[in-house]
Amino acid sequence: MDALSAFLERFKPLADVFMDSYFVVDAERNIVDFNRTFFSMLPRQVARGLKGKKCYEVLELEICKERCIAEQCWRDKRHVRLDEINGRIATVENPVRFILSAIPILDEAGTPVGALELTFTPDGDPK
């Protein structure tokens, strides 16, 4: 079993305690897992087929090109939190402010294989 699959297997029993939305990406930034809260904040056409989509195709954030939070946590191999990030959800016109937090998922050699990202919208439902 690869390190990302092992993480997901260990994480799933804990996932229900997260009230904020979260998603998990692999090293190529493909969404491989998410909770119901994340799914429900997305428009139906975006939420369908969510697994396998790139995170930046779903959340179009101002940081994605220059300061990707997943890449920051992989580079530093530590938790990263970013407050007051502007962006929008794909297909939704209204801008949204996010609070983001990410932690790297590492294999036994310390190589990043994914990231767990939590998202919070302080202004409420972004749709």
Q: What is the 3-state secondary structure (H, E, C) of the chain?
A: CCHHHHHHHHHHHHHCCCCCEEEEEECCCEEEEECHHHHHCCCHHHHCCCCCCEHHHHEEECCCCCCCHHHHHHHHCCCEEEEEEEEEECCCCCCEEEEEEEEEEECCCCCEEEEEEEEECCCCCCC
pTM for the predicted model, two decimal places: 0.92
Report pLDDT digits (tens) over 90-120. Answer: 888 889 999 999 999 999 999 999 999 999 8
